[in-house]
Structure 1
Amino acid sequence: MLAARGLSDGILGHVSLRVDERRLLVRCRGPAERGLAFTTVADVRLVDLDGQPGAPGELDGGYAPPNELPLHTEVLRRRPDVDAVVHAHPPDVVAADLAGIAIRPIVGAFDIPGTRLAAGGVPVHPRGVLIRNRRLAAEMVESMGERPVVVLRAHGLTSAAAGVERAVLQAIAVDGLARLALRVVSAGGTLADLPEADMAELPDLGAAFTTATAWRHELARLPGDKTDTTGHDLTRPGE
């Protein structure tokens, strides 16, 4: 889904989900690595917070956690409210930040969840490094604070939430706001935040719409079968 939306072209990007206090599922790299767009069930492996197999045989067959596993595990260690972490490389997000354009609530009903997210602030981590160890990951988490998304300068973004669905949708929303901001500025316009009076009128549409329905839509956009190898309907969150 992230790749289909253009948030992680090529072979970069990864997604994780906490399963208990010490272990997480994460997209690992195997001998036939082809990138996020071509992820298979076999690419998702159980590891612990230190990158070791979470169960016997989990890293057999030449699989290894991503180099930036600490980006995920440090968020999970420090944020008990978070169970899922998404790391992606959206070009428009990177370009907007490098151009000095912050993620701001420039729209209203066009994207209510995205507007609310931006109104709360989207921090920027100022280091364009590969977050390959706990020290660098701790710096990123410090920049992130208690916010759900942090932009990584000259790198991409990290999105965190209670579930994979919300973490992915947050990343898509930030990417959309960055793309709109770049278009406005490129057209000679000036960015302005949504007036407070209009912000106050934006309703809470509820998780059934902003997460469950949005998730089904994103999955429906993808080509191919919408069930996994066990027959579960992947358009239903939680399946």
Structure 2
Amino acid sequence: MDDGLDGLRREVAVGCRVMAYRGLVENILGHISVRLDGERALVRCRGPEEAGLRFTTTDDVRVVDLDSGEVIDDPAGEYAAPSELPIHTSVLVARPDATCVVHAHPPDVVVASLAGFALEPIFGAYDIPATHLAAAGIPVHPHSVLIRSDELAAEMVASLGSAEALVLKGHGVVTTGTDVAEAVLRALQLDTLARVHLRVRSAGTIPEAIPSADLAELPDLGGAFNRETLWRHHLAALEQDGLGLN
């Protein structure tokens, strides 16, 4: 696949492995896309030796036409785009600010959505990016269906609006980013918010949003810390456990 896209293919593949390693997806579920231009995107597809996201390879990451949804760099016809490809194509078309789209199924987020409570900023310095994400508002899409059509995707995009993350009730999450790291980290932040919410409630207490004065005191530690350093940590953990790409 010497087409000048090897670096991006690797980013998508590693992002899929991080999602599986951190429990955001199970077995073969979930996918990542990255916009190439106005007509094409790289998408994690299903191949002839599908083994799940934890074992995604660069061969699994294919160029897909945003209009037709067809895999266009697979002359042998061995790879198929995910059935929920409209999640990616619809967001990438509607949101020019989004370069990457992640769809994952974090179990704690699913449980929280079924319980019907919002992911509010209930903690502060514990996870500042997650707090800011929650404070900005995390919309919930009220339908649990597989988003396999343009019509269903349009409803989802309407629920997402201009937000950076969306909870799909009883289904999972959709997050956006300027690159794979940012979109995956936002999915991880949603997972953290849901997990803490559930633990507080399991302790018998209804969590409350932190005071606005506390929220105002939380600094933006910058992309070098919140993205680059944190992403290196996740990649190093992946490598340490023998799940990095060779």
TM-score, with normalisation over the residues of structure 2? 0.89
Give the whole-Å Cα distance in 2 for the aligned partners of 1:142 and 1:151: 13
Match of 2:160 in 1: 144
Q: 1:77 aligns with which of 69, 85, 93?
A: 93
- Whether 1:184 and 2:184 are equivalent positions in the alignment is no
Contact 1:45 1:59 in 2 (8 A): no
What is the percentage of aligned positions where both structures have the same residue?
57
- Whether 1:51 and 2:69 are equivalent positions in the alignment is yes
- Whether 1:89 and 2:108 are equivalent positions in the alignment is no
Q: Which amino acid aligns with 1:45?
A: R
Contact 2:71 2:80 in 1 (8 A): no
In the TM superposition, what whole-angstrom CA distance separates every residue of 1:102-134 from its partner, at most 9, and x where no partner exists?
Answer: 111011000000000000100000010000011
- Whether 1:101 and 2:152 are equivalent positions in the alignment is no
Structure 1 or 2: larger helix share? 2
- Whether 1:23 and 2:40 are equivalent positions in the alignment is yes
Give the whole-Å Cα distance in 2 for the aligned partners of 1:87 and 1:59: 27
Give the whole-Å Cα distance in 2 for the aligned partners of 1:180 and 1:59: 47
- Whether 1:116 and 2:132 are equivalent positions in the alignment is yes
SS at match of 1:150: strand
| Mapping of residues 26-37 of structure 1, within 5 Å | 26-37=43-54
Give the whole-Å Cα distance in 2 for the aligned partners of 1:60 and 1:150: 36
Structure 1 unaligned regions, length at least 5: 230-239
TM-score, with normalisation over the residues of structure 1? 0.92
1:190 Cα deviation after fit = 1.7
Q: Which amino acid aligns with 1:113?
A: P
Give the whole-Å Cα distance in 2 for the aligned partners of 1:59 and 1:165: 30
Q: Provide runs of 4+ in structure 1 moved above 6 Å.
A: none
- Whether 1:6 and 2:11 are equivalent positions in the alignment is no
Q: How many residues align?
A: 226
SS at match of 2:175: strand
